[in-house]
Structure 1
Amino acid sequence: MVGLRLLTDRYDRTVARELLLDPTARQERTDLSGPLNYLLIGSDRRPDSNSPETRADTILIVHLPAGLGRAYLISVPRDLLVAIPAAPGHPGGNDKINAAYQHGGGGEGGARLLSTTLSRLTGLRFDGAALIDFAGIQRVVDILGGVRLCPETEVRSIHTGHVFPAGCQQLTGAQALDLVRQRYDLPNGDYDRQRHQQQLLRAMLDRAAATDLRGNPARFDQVLRAVGSSLTVDTNGVPLDDLVFTLRDLRSDALLGVQVPSHPQTIDEVSYVLLDQGGGGLFEAVRENRVEPWVRSNQRWVNPL
């Protein structure tokens, strides 16, 4: 544990820090005993791309109830129609939620606009946020020796043409990212993509446990360095090593995937996702720290991981 503490302390000094949360979306004070709510943003920016059209490809709310024995991965549909507040260069208005990151200019500004958009929608304030691009995830998966993913149906990549058969298979970092980015031609479209992304996070934790990452300081150091080049965090003033140690015993089988109650709809020939009435009570349940009973009553929106 001493070696792990030294590594995380070193990482704490080198990881990029920015104010990813808008003040209106930030929890006033974070108590690591929980409950905790974190915003995870996956950017579709790639190292070889200078495109200004970067959007948030993945938006996850991670909810940890008091006691921190469980983590709910709540996927926010990227095409969810929301009211995006005004920002420099953006007059505000209705758009897909993943466009908030772009309208905010990407990076810190994009994350802040996305956080306030999501906070207004859900009534939540966040204890922290993280922004990561594809390159970091790919490197971590490769350092871990790949991951095992099990798509329920055949998936054909629109990016590479590769066909992933149904069933469990061992994938490299590039293959895993290719799979979890797909949504076209899947039976449930973006909802299937959300589930695959949640399953990737579970698979990465499974692989980390199988390789005894915590007991292998050298391997852990490799993972930290790989993530560090692609990760930006906002811990709301909490030292990163304290956060890592608080969550170190969270098991992969304690993760549960949740989808936001919603439905697709075409408006003026544009495909959107619309929130069900009141979000099906999900956001209220998160605010009131009673997600577990909500899950028991809403199995339709729960993903087995």
Structure 2
Amino acid sequence: MLAAAAVAGLKILSHRYERTVTREQLLDPDARRDRTDLDDTLNYLLVGSDRRPGATGDDQRSDTVLVVHVPAGTKRAYLISIPRDLLVAIPPAPNGWAGGSDKINSAYEHGGGGEAGVRLLSATLTRLTGLRFDGAALIDFAGLRQVIDLLGGIRMCVDTEVRSIHTRTLFPVGCQQMDGARALDYVRQRYDLPGGDYDRQRHQQQLLRAMLDRAGETNLRRDPVRLDQLIRAVGASLTVDTNGVPLEELALALRDLPPDALTGVQVPSHPATIDEVSYVVLDGGGNGLFDAARDERMPDWAQANPRWITRL
């Protein structure tokens, strides 16, 4: 869900608004690509924290972890959702974390939260996948909610009735218009859904598509005040690391990527209980998914593994 702010933002931010975005070193040196070539394959890490009012930097976990894989030519993008409870090996961190096995969403916490937390998370993902990244974005909930509201809300199609564990709101089956608060509440649900966290991942991917669809439908160029508000809201919600590439150049490179070119991907895996703790465990190392992303074979992998593909 938080990926939406990053992708939508990179498509509309111009040089004038670069100063509204906070820039930090979000990628660990071992997870960073030496040089980004916008004509080559691109990999971006998008992270959203479940920060709550009063939470400290050491009391947070990453609520959303998503890898955006863009093959050379930027005509298609694969949104790879990483299960929040995936059991991984987390490397040591400068803050004293000695390293060890844990859920991947705890890497952010073990790193100390914030930018340092994303660095440890990026190192963990590179160790897991073999991918190195061209950039990363850390996105906050409040900013994303405002972006959706400034877009005039989005249309989401609920496939299974569910009641929010946070607000007790009931989401009935059917397509419906949602404001920012309602949309974010819906895509954060995983309990009482048939697929649990896998359904949550799919709904987050659908949120991204819905935001991009809405941005395309809204003629913001004829409403400069609203456009200015939207760009500033997107910028304020992001902390980015573009590996030295100006945001304007990145936006130009991605401008021809239409919403219907997005493909949602879930990591082949299954739930498991280990020492009375619930985890998600990879199926056969991910069933070749990460090899396919590294070797430019994602279309073939997607065709051969329809169970793990979401058509957005």
Q: TM-score range by the shorter chain?
A: over 0.9
What does residue 82 of structure 1 align with?
A: 88
Classify 1:216/1:98 alpha carbon distance in 2 versus 1 (closer, same or farther; 3 Å).
same
**Residue 251 (structure 1) shift:** 0.8
**Structure 2: stretches of 5+ with no match in the other structure:** 1-9
Q: Which residue of 2 aligns with 1:263?
A: 270
Q: In the alignment, which of 52, 57, 60 is matched to residue 54 of structure 1?
A: 60
Give the match for residue 178 of structure 2. 171
Alpha-carbon offset, residue 49 of structure 1:
3.1
Q: How many residues align?
A: 301
1-structure distance, mates of 2:41, 2:15: 24
Q: Which residue of 2 aligns with 1:15?
A: 21
Instruction: Tell me which residue corresponds to 1:136.
Output: 143
Q: Percent same amino acid among aligned pairs? A: 69
Which residue is equivalent to 2:3? none
1:191 counterpart residue number: 198
Q: 8 Å contact 2:147–2:233 — kept in the other structure?
A: yes
Match of 1:109 in 2: 116
| One-letter amino acid of the structure 2 residue matched with residue 71 of structure 1 | A
TM-score (structure 2 length as normaliser): 0.93
Deviations 1:58-101 (A, max 9, x none): 00000001110001100000000000011123111000000000
Give the corresponding residue for 2:209. Answer: 202
**2:129 counterpart residue number:** 122
What is the alpha-carbon distance in structure 2 between the residues aligned to residue 14 and residue 162 of structure 1?
A: 34
Residue 109 of structure 1 deviates from its aligned partner by 0.3
Partner residue of 1:224 out of 220, 231, 237:
231
The reply on whether 1:284 has 2:291 as its aligned counterpart is yes
In the TM superposition, structure 1's runs of 4+ consecutive aligned residues that sit over 4 Å from their partners are 4-7, 214-217
Q: Mark the CA change 1:213 to 1:250 in structure 2 (over 3 Å): closer, same or farther.
A: farther
Matches within 5 A, 1:152-167: 152-167=159-174
The equivalent position to 1:95 in structure 2, one of 98, 102, 109, is 102
Q: Counterpart of 1:50 in structure 2: which amino acid? A: A
Contact 1:59/1:76 (8 A) holds in 2: yes
For residue 214 of structure 1, report the CA deviation from its aligned partner.
5.8
CA distance in 1, matches of 2:246, 2:288: 33
- Secondary structure of the structure 2 residue equivalent to 1:118: helix
Q: Post-superposition shift, 1:6?
A: 11
Relative contact order: is structure 1 or structure 2 higher (C-alpha 8 Å, sep ≥ 6)?
A: 2
Q: Secondary structure at the match of 1:150?
A: strand
For 1:194, the aligned partner's letter is Q
The one-letter amino acid of 1:140's match is: V
Is 1:181 aligned with 2:169?
A: no
**d(CA) in 2 for partners of 1:37, 1:277:** 23
TM-score (normalizing by structure 1): 0.95
* Amino acid in structure 2 at the alignment position of 1:241: E
Quote the Cα distance in structure 2 between the aligned partners of 1:151 and 1:269: 33
35, 40, 56: which is aligned to 2:41? Answer: 35
Q: Is the 8 A contact 1:7 1:221 kept in 2?
A: no
Amino acid at match of 1:29: R
Alignment gaps of 5+ in structure 1: none
